[in-house]
A = this chain, B = another copy of it.
Amino acid sequence: MHKIWNIKNKFEKNRLKPYILIVLHPKLQILIMTRAQLINQIKTKRSFLCVGLDTDINKIPSFLLEFEDPVYEFNKRIIEATSDLCVAYKPNIAFYESRGLKGWESLQKTWRILPKDCFSIADAKRGDIGNTANMYAKAFFDEGESGLGFDSITVAPYMGNDSVEPFLQFRDKWAIVLALTSNQGSMDFQNIKDNEGVQLFERVIQSANQWGSIENLMYVVGATRGEAFKIIRKHAPDHFLLVPGIGAQGGSLDDVCTYGITNDCGLLVNATRSVIYASSGKDFAEKAREEAILLRTEMEKQLIKASII
């Protein structure tokens, strides 16, 4: 995918027309993931499921420990079992980073096998100023430098504009800004009302709307607070929302869709533990598939209900 992308960049630098590349590689249209392509994938697969790869070496089935890289082996089998049912994968970077070099190798190998028709999300929640943010963008977007070339990264907004914009400068890449998260502590600051009665997460969306567009910016909105989607959609009627908190965390898909779904779907709903740890036995991949089918079936109903498919 990324060799092609590099060739594409070279072509563009030399002012050659992109159609030359399309001749070279007819599948270019899914080598990057635009908004239109993502919507297309959702309609084709009848799903807006994102599978979280929070792969903990202490939680995976023990028989995998005999493999050279158990984490990669686990991810590979989960991906093989679910890739026709979901439109995105989201490795949680902390789980890889905690294992040092071994973890980064597992992450690189996993990134390489992510299906090209799936949107890839580095769940890294980075946030730092200009030059440093640019380095983080390189770490997750620029395969030539870091060995990773995700389509998108989750980003924390606390440091403001110059901590998000460097990610948006990368062509064909996305920043997914934390707005309203699903954890208990989210209420510590995200709901603080300013002197006009506007909550912090609303201010974040209002500001970030100015930094990027619906073509390169999404928001994280936790599923555990379904009613909040009404407010979110007031500020971001067309942006895609990445929604964690379904399944193990207790969020309701129905609530999320009631308030959050748009004409283009506009949702990527993430499930992690309920899918990847559906079984701790040799049948873990099969059970993961069963859970993903259940979620896909629910999502298909929602897509039909909203007249999207």
Q: Which residues of the other chain, B, contact A200 by a CB distance below 8 angstroms?
A: 189, 192, 200
Per-position contact with B for A133-165: 1 when CB-CB < 8 Å, else 0? 101101100100111100000001111111110
Q: Are A157 and B160 in contact (CB under 8 A)?
A: no
> Could you say which interface size class chain A belongs to?
35 or more
Q: Are B195 and A145 in contact (CB under 8 A)?
A: no
The reply to whether the CB of A300 lies closer than 8 angstroms to some CB of chain B is no
Q: Which residues of the other chain, B, contact A95 by a CB distance below 8 angstroms?
A: 132, 135
The reply to whether the CB of A26 lies closer than 8 angstroms to some CB of chain B is no
Q: Are A158 and B189 in contact (CB under 8 A)?
A: yes
Q: How far is the CA of A132 from the CA of B98 in the complex (A)?
A: 10
Q: Which residues of the other chain, B, contact A100 by a CB distance below 8 angstroms?
A: 104, 108, 139, 145-148
Q: Are B108 and A101 in contact (CB under 8 A)?
A: yes
Q: Which residues of the other chain, B, contact A161 by a CB distance below 8 angstroms?
A: 184-185, 188
Q: Are B160 and A185 in contact (CB under 8 A)?
A: yes
Q: Which residues of the other chain, B, contact A76 by a CB distance below 8 angstroms?
A: none
Q: Are A136 and B97 in contact (CB under 8 A)?
A: yes
The reply to whether the CB of A203 lies closer than 8 angstroms to some CB of chain B is yes
Q: How far is the CA of A203 from the CA of B98 in the complex (A)?
A: 30
Q: Which residues of the other chain, B, contact A178 by a CB distance below 8 angstroms?
A: 158-159
Q: How far is the CA of A127 from the CA of B186 in the complex (A)?
A: 11
The reply to whether the CB of A233 lies closer than 8 angstroms to some CB of chain B is no
The reply to whether the CB of A62 lies closer than 8 angstroms to some CB of chain B is no
Per-position contact with B for A47-76: 1 when CB-CB < 8 Å, else 0? 000000010100000000000000000000
The reply to whether the CB of A129 lies closer than 8 angstroms to some CB of chain B is yes
The reply to whether the CB of A94 lies closer than 8 angstroms to some CB of chain B is yes
Per-position contact with B for A180-223: 1 when CB-CB < 8 Å, else 0? 01111111111011110100100110010000000000000000
The reply to whether the CB of A35 lies closer than 8 angstroms to some CB of chain B is no
Closest chain B CB from A305 CB (angstroms): 31
Q: Are B160 and A158 in contact (CB under 8 A)?
A: no
Closest A-B pairs by Cβ, 10 of them: A160-B185, A160-B188, A94-B135, A100-B146, A161-B185, A129-B183, A162-B185, A98-B138, A97-B139, A100-B147
